Structure 1
Amino acid sequence: MRVEAMEIFSGLFALIILIADIYAVIQVLSSGTSGVNKLVWTLLIIVLPVIGLIIWMFAGPRGSSGVRV
C-alpha cells in the first residue's frame, strides 16, 4: 500500500494543530481571566481549531502581566 506524500503532510498538519490547540486550551484555563472569558476562548479554539488558534495567539488571555481579554 503506497501512501501519498499529501496524505502524510495532511496528517502531520492535523497532529500539529491538535497539539497546539491542546496547549492553547491549557494556557487559557490556567490564565487569570474570568470564567466566562475562559469558556469563550476555549469554545473558540475547539470549534474553529486553526482560526481560533491564530486569534488566540494574537488576542488571547495572557499571564498576570499581559493584556487580558
Structure 2
Amino acid sequence: MEWLLGIVHLVLVIWALVNILSSADTTGAKVLWSLGVLIFPLVGFIVWFFAGPRGSAA
C-alpha cells in the first residue's frame, strides 16, 4: 500500500513542477517554488497548490 502512496506523491510532485515551470512567473520565483516542492515534499506541494503561480506563459 505504501508504494501506491509513493507513486501518487511522485505524480503530484511532477505535476506541480510542470505547472511551476510553465507559469508566467519570473525565473527566480520558479526556482524558489521548485525548490520548495522538492525540499519539503508534502508541505511544499500543499503551499504551492494554494498559493503558487498560476497560468501559462503561452
TM-score (norm: length of structure 2): 0.90
Unaligned segments of structure 2, at least 5 residues: none
1:62 aligns with 2:38: no
Which structure is richer in relative contact order (CA contacts within 8 A, separation 6 or more)? 2
Q: Give the greater-gyration-radius structure (CA).
A: 1
| Deviation beyond 4 Å, 4+ runs, structure 1 | none
TM-score (norm: length of structure 1): 0.77
Q: Percent identity?
A: 38
Partner SS state of residue 24, structure 1: helix
Structure with the higher fraction of residues in helix conformation: 2
Q: Which residue of 2 aligns with 1:51?
A: 43
Unaligned segments of structure 1, at least 5 residues: 1-8, 65-69
Q: How many residues align?
A: 56
